[in-house]
Amino acid sequence: MPPPSPGSHRHRSANRLHTVLLLAGMIGLLVACGWIVAGPEGGLWALVLGGVSLAFAPRLSPQMVLGMYGAVPVRAWDMPKVTAILNELAERAGLPRTPQLYWIPSPTLNAFAMGTRGDAVIAVTDGLVRSLSARELAGVLGHEITHIANGDLWLMGLADTVSRLTRMMSLFGQILLLFNLPLLIAGAVTIPWGLILLLVLAPTIGALLQLALSRTREYDADLGGALLTGDPLALAGALRKLEQYGRGLWESLMLPNRRNPSPSLLRTHPPTEERIRRLVDLRGQLSGRPALPGIDALAQGGAPVAGRFRIVPAQPRHRLTGLWY
């Protein structure tokens, strides 16, 4: 695979710098909470506790999550074209083994990855497989494989652990403040109000940093997926369909231009329009590259890739574990 263009290097370097700064900010916030609660030793212990928790924290089994969704493993004969694309992309990404593909019986359009670099799974919904062309599906799979290759699953797990510890430390500090409130009122103990405010706001600040980190990793996965397939417009087309089908009929008819009204700071994913714009800008940078073997032949045509799986009804069914498709 040819090396990425200079523009791609700048994009990737900027995203990595953002990732380091955001993660450092989250860890610094955790240490600050520990220092406010118990002084310098508390800050050191908060850092040690974070490392220990990350090392020994129980990992949620992908099989448990997939079982909740009623996911079915996809064999090579179930979706030959899709599995061939996945194998090709995993080889280009340098993964030690191809992630196991799972099919989720749901008409919604979604895909996600779980596990580790050497033992990962990628799940796609029935609605996604039937709504996207093979070319667009290759773009989505490239995005998910980039998450795996970049270690984003581990990184976001680390960010989640740090965020949880920050909330625990903040709660413990606020409980101590309540117990010492009479002394504070009497003036026997003095604590700078700025530190108290930081302790109270720490969980919110940590959550915002975690969301910003998630958005940064999504941009990097978009870039990596485009580099793997050599076709940024494929992922851009998939994102357009995801945005379009994600709206309900009433919203599509009455409010076609209003989507995702939540503030940008509270989004786990960047705005779709911005992601598409960046992918379209990559088209010129990748246009001079030689054709990548395999994907073009596997992903030609615009017909959806359904495989042998049945069409999922639009209405969900009630099960013991909840409401599932």
Judged by average pLDDT, the poorest of 97-106, 166-175, 178-187, 238-247 is 178-187
User: What are the pLDDT digits (tens) for 29-68?
Assistant: 888 888 887 778 777 877 787 777 666 555 667 777 788 8
Question: Under a CB-based contact definition with an 8 Å cutoff, are residues 270 and 214 in contact?
Answer: no
Measured between alpha carbons, how far is 192 from 190 in angstroms, rounded to an integer? 7
315 belongs to a structural domain: no
Model pLDDT, residue 123: 92
DSSP string over 100-147: EEEEE--SS--EEEEEETTEEEEEEEHHHHHHSBHHHHHHHHHHHHHH
183 DSSP assignment:
H
166 belongs to a structural domain: yes
Edge-to-edge, what's the strand order for the sheet holding 111-116?
72-73, 100-104, 119-125, 111-116
Q: Which two tokens stand for residue 6?
A: 């200079």
User: What are the pLDDT digits (tens) for 97-149?
Assistant: 999 999 988 888 889 998 888 889 999 988 888 888 888 899 999 999 999 99
319 belongs to a structural domain: no
Question: Under a CB-based contact definition with an 8 Å cutoff, are residues 308 and 83 in contact?
Answer: no
Average pLDDT of the chain is: 75
Model pLDDT, residue 291: 46
How far apart, in Å, are the Cα atoms of 322 and each of 68, 105, 111, 316? 9, 15, 20, 10
Tally of domains in the chain: 1
Domain that holds residue 284: 6-309
Measured between alpha carbons, how far is 167 from 43 in angstroms, rounded to an integer? 15
55 belongs to a structural domain: yes
Catalytic residue among 41, 88, 91, 144: 144
86 belongs to a structural domain: yes
1 belongs to a structural domain: no
Alpha helices in 180-230 (DSSP H): 181-186, 193-229
317 belongs to a structural domain: no
First to last CA, the chain: 40
Model pLDDT, residue 313: 54
Active-site annotation holds for 251: no
Q: What is the pTM of this model?
A: 0.76
325 belongs to a structural domain: no
Nearest to 147 by CA among 221, 53, 254: 221
Judged by average pLDDT, the poorest of 75-84, 91-100, 288-297 is 288-297
